[in-house]
Amino acid sequence: MSALDSPSPTPSLLEVEGLSKSHAGIAAVRDVSFAVPSGGALGLVGESGSGKTTIARLVARLESPDSGRIVFDGTDWLALRGGSLRRKRRDLQLVFQDPQTSLNPRMRAGDQIGEPLRVQRIARGAAVAQTVVELLAEVGLDPSIARRFPSELSGGQRQRVAIARALATRPKLLICDEPVSALDASIAAQIVNLLLSLQHALGLAYLFISHDLAVVGRVAPRVAVLFAGRVVEEGPFERVAARPLHPYTAILVASVPSFEAGPRVLSTPPRGARSAAQGVAAPSPGCAFAARCPIVRPRCREEEPPLALVEADRRAACFYPGELSAGL
C-alpha cells in the first residue's frame, strides 16, 4: 500500500514511501509511508518510542534510512548531495519541542535568526539585520527581542524565536516535532494560532508531530497514528477522531481529557518491564499492539496485520478495524 495513491486535492510536497530505520538492531521505524500536500499539513501522533522523532530526523536528513524513498518538492530527496542538497535544505526546516536546547544559549536571539541567512548566503551585512526585524514581526515579537539571550525570554517567546529562525530561509515545509508540548495551554494555543496564520500567509506546509491528538487536530486535516514504529491508522482527522479504526487509536481518543464527556475508561492489560510501544529487537510474528489490545484474538499473535484500505480514504493495520470504537 502506497501513500502515493491516496486521493489528494493538492499535489504532494513531501512523499515518504516504505521508510525503515533500525538503531542498534532495534527497529525504530518500519515501512512508514505518508504524504504532506503543498501548503497543507499532516499530523503524526504517537507516544514516546513510537518512532515519531526518528521520522522527523530521517525526513530532515539528520539520519539516513535503512530503506525507503522520499520525494520532496519533486526531487529525489535522499539522492541529493553537495551544493544541490545545501540549496534544497532551505525549503525544509525544523522546529523542536524545547527551544531551550535547540537555541544556542550564548547567542543573542537576533544573531540566531540571522544565522541561516548568512550560512545560506541569502543576505549579508545590514540586509540581515533588516530581515531579522521582519522575521520577528512575522512571529509577533518586538524588534527589541533581537538583542536578548534565550535565558531572558519566556518559553513562548523562545519558541517564536525558533520559528522565526526556521522561517529565515523561506521554507516550503516545516517539520514541527512536539512544538507546544513544553508550553502551558494558553501559550500553546498562541503558538498553534501563529502556525496556522503563517500557513495562510506564507503557504507553508507542516509535518506536525505530537503525542497530543487534540493538538494535532488543530493543525492537521489528516493524521497518521504511529505505534511501535509503524503507521497503524491513517486518514482524515475528523473521521479518525470520531470513529477510530485501530484499537490503539480508540484508546488514544478515549484518553484525551474532555469537558463534554465523562472519562471513558478503556483498561488495557498491564505491560511488561519495557513498554510495548518501544521497538522490539526481534519482532515476533504478530501485531505489535497485541500485548495491549483489549480485543486481541489468536490470529493477531500469529501474523501482523497489513496497513490496508478499510473504507474510502482511510487505512488501518488491524484485522478487526472499528470493532473497539463501536463498543465505546
Residues that bind another protein (CB under 8 A): 41, 47-48, 154-156, 184-190, 192-193, 196-197, 211-215, 217-221, 237-238, 241, 251-260, 262-263, 265, 267-268, 270-275, 277
Q: What is the 3-state secondary structure (H, E, C) of 167-232?
A: HCCCCCEEEEECCCCCCCHHHHHHHHHHHHHHHHHHCCEEEEEECCHHHHHHHCCEEEEEECCEEE
Nearer to another protein, 57 or 160 (CB): 160
Q: How far is the CB of 286 from another protein (least distance, A)?
A: 20
Nearer to another protein, 270 or 285 (CB): 270
Q: How far is the CB of 321 from another protein (least distance, A)?
A: 19
Nearer to another protein, 86 or 271 (CB): 271
Nearer to another protein, 169 or 325 (CB): 325
Q: Which residues are within 8 A (CB) of 158 and not within 5 positions of it... i.e. 6 or more apart?
A: 99, 100, 103, 150
Q: How far is the CB of 93 from another protein (least distance, A)?
A: 21
- Of the candidates 151, 119, 153, which has an alpha carbon nearest to the alpha carbon of residue 136? 153
92-95 and 41-45: which strand pairing?
Answer: unpaired
Nearer to another protein, 95 or 117 (CB): 95
* Helical ranges in the chain per DSSP H: 52-59, 82-89, 99-102, 109-119, 126-138, 155-167, 185-202, 213-219, 237-242, 247-254, 298-302, 323-326
Q: How far is the CB of 203 from another protein (least distance, A)?
A: 14
Nearer to another protein, 129 or 187 (CB): 187
Q: How far is the CB of 155 from another protein (least distance, A)?
A: 8
Q: How far is the CB of 225 from another protein (least distance, A)?
A: 12
CA–CA distance, 77 with 38 (Å, rounded to integer):
16
